[in-house]
Amino acid sequence: MPAKRSKQSDTLRAAQMYYLQDQTMDAIARELRTSRSTVSRLLSAARDSGLVQVQIKTPADLAPELERVIRRRYKVDVHVVPVADTLNEMDVLDRVSMQAARTITPLVDSNAVIGVAWGSTLSAVSRHLTRKTTHGTTIVQLNGAGNTQTSGITYASEIIRRFGTAYGAKVEQFPVPAFFDRAETKRLMWEERSVQRILELQSRVTIAIFGVGSIDAEVPSHVYTGGYLDSTDIDDLEASGVAGDVATVFFRDDGSDEGIMLNERSSGPSLASLRKIRRRICVVSGAKKIKGLRGALAAGLATELILDETTARELVEQESAQSDPIFGFLNSLDGL
């Protein structure tokens, strides 16, 4: 004599029977007096409503060598996403972003303020987020997305909207261009009360999530192709020896950002203010981003790094060959 038959309670019941009691969907269907197909659908609803949570905990002694090396060298909490190195860029992005989404969700608490950048990586991540009910959470856009051609705003707003839906959070867009034409305009805008409100929110971000742009990426980041920059700007970047960007703020190989003029006109948070955020999650997919990634790591922008195995391997090999004799030793020692 089951009490009431709301869909919600059926879902919970099905989930318990399936995941906690190892019943087959068939058996559950009989008990719920419905069809097996419905149970299958209930269960997938339970999964992506966050009712069922699957976690994989990696005992440190079992983590792949690659993770240990990166963690030790860059002092970041790293998650290497296993991928076959025959996969094409798009499939890799898909896998990395899916795993990233599932890795990020457990980190989100109630009352978090989550700063989100935009770009193809973040867009992919946002598509795979699983729901989690939280209270008082806010999503805030880290950098503007307007450009000279299409607005770009729908693109960025779509990303943060998905984050908002997944966590039941309030979302705050940042309705300014990605880059101002004149630094003076930016300075004035930054005095506006509406902008100040967002800046204030940004200063209270507890979790930042971003990808990296790399100047040499074969699949170039949106920033470099989306009409945000003109050819003068790009020449300027190359002249300054820029390696990549995070949230439309640029830096060099060694992590420095002094004297990069374009940053004066960028709407993104300065590297210094980014570094003040407690948790800074960087998602990277594709070995073509390695240059930007190295710069970002040198700048200490990330506290956690989620990246695909191929890129991870390249990151370790490049550096160990070049500039890190000690690592070369460890490397052979650990039989990497």
Partner DNA sequence: GACCTTTCTGCACGTTTGTGCATGCTGGTT
Partner DNA sequence: AACCAGCATGCACAAACGTGCAGAAAGGTC
Enumerate binding residues for its own copies (CB under 8 A).
1, 3-4, 8-9, 12-13, 15-17, 19-23, 31, 46, 50-59, 62, 64-66, 81-82, 84-85, 95, 98-99, 102-103, 133, 313, 335-336
Residues 180/186, Cβ–Cβ less than 8 Å: yes
Q: Which C-beta is closer to its own copies: that of 4 or that of 193?
A: 4
Q: Which amino acid is at 10?
A: D
Partner interacting with residue 37 (select from its own copies, DNA, none; CB below 5-8 Å by kind): DNA
Partner interacting with residue 328 (select from DNA, its own copies, none; CB below 5-8 Å by kind): none
Residue with tokens 């980041």: 221
Partner interacting with residue 168 (select from its own copies, DNA, none; CB below 5-8 Å by kind): none
Least separation in angstroms between CB 10 and DNA: 8
Least separation in angstroms between CB 192 and DNA: 39
Taking phi first (over 0 means left), then psi (-120 to 50 degrees means alpha), and beta for anything else, what does residue 327 get? alpha
Q: Which C-beta is closer to its own copies: that of 130 or that of 214?
A: 130
Least separation in angstroms between CB 10 and its own copies: 10
Partner interacting with residue 51 (select from its own copies, DNA, none; CB below 5-8 Å by kind): its own copies
Partner interacting with residue 21 (select from DNA, its own copies, none; CB below 5-8 Å by kind): its own copies
In sequence order, the β-bridge partners of residue 112 are none
| CA dist 321 → 61, 178, 331 (Å) | 26, 37, 10
Helix (H) or strand (E) holding 213: strand 213-214
Distance of alpha carbon 75 from alpha carbon 70, whole angstroms = 7
Q: Which C-beta is closer to its own copies: that of 15 or that of 159?
A: 15
Q: Which amino acid is at 264?
A: E
Residues 212/284, Cβ–Cβ less than 8 Å: yes
Least separation in angstroms between CB 150 and its own copies: 32
Partner interacting with residue 64 (select from its own copies, DNA, none; CB below 5-8 Å by kind): its own copies
Computed over its alpha carbons, how large is the radius of gyration of the chain?
A: 22
Residues 251/300, Cβ–Cβ less than 8 Å: no
Least separation in angstroms between CB 205 and its own copies: 26
Helix (H) or strand (E) holding 138: strand 138-141
Partner interacting with residue 41 (select from its own copies, DNA, none; CB below 5-8 Å by kind): DNA
Judged by the rule CB under 7 A, the positions of this chain that interact with DNA are 7, 18, 24-26, 34-38, 40-41, 43-44
Q: Which C-beta is closer to its own copies: that of 132 or that of 252?
A: 132
Q: Which C-beta is closer to its own copies: that of 109 or that of 233?
A: 109
Angle between helices 309-322 and 290-298 in degrees, nearest 10 = 70
Least separation in angstroms between CB 5 and DNA: 9
Q: What does DSSP say about strands 170-172 and 207-210: parallel, antiparallel, or unpaired?
A: unpaired
Partner interacting with residue 66 (select from DNA, its own copies, none; CB below 5-8 Å by kind): its own copies
Distance of alpha carbon 325 from alpha carbon 75, whole angstroms = 18
Q: Which C-beta is closer to DNA: that of 37 or that of 133?
A: 37
Q: Which C-beta is closer to its own copies: that of 21 or that of 232?
A: 21
Task: Give every CB contact of residue 282 below 8 A, 6+ residues apart in sequence.
Answer: 76, 210, 211, 212, 246, 293, 296, 301, 302, 304, 305, 306
Q: Which C-beta is closer to its own copies: that of 130 or that of 147?
A: 130
Sign of the dihedral defined by the CA atoms of residues 265, 266, 268, 272, in that order: negative
Least separation in angstroms between CB 84 and DNA: 16
Least separation in angstroms between CB 24 and DNA: 3
What is residue 251's three-state secondary structure? strand
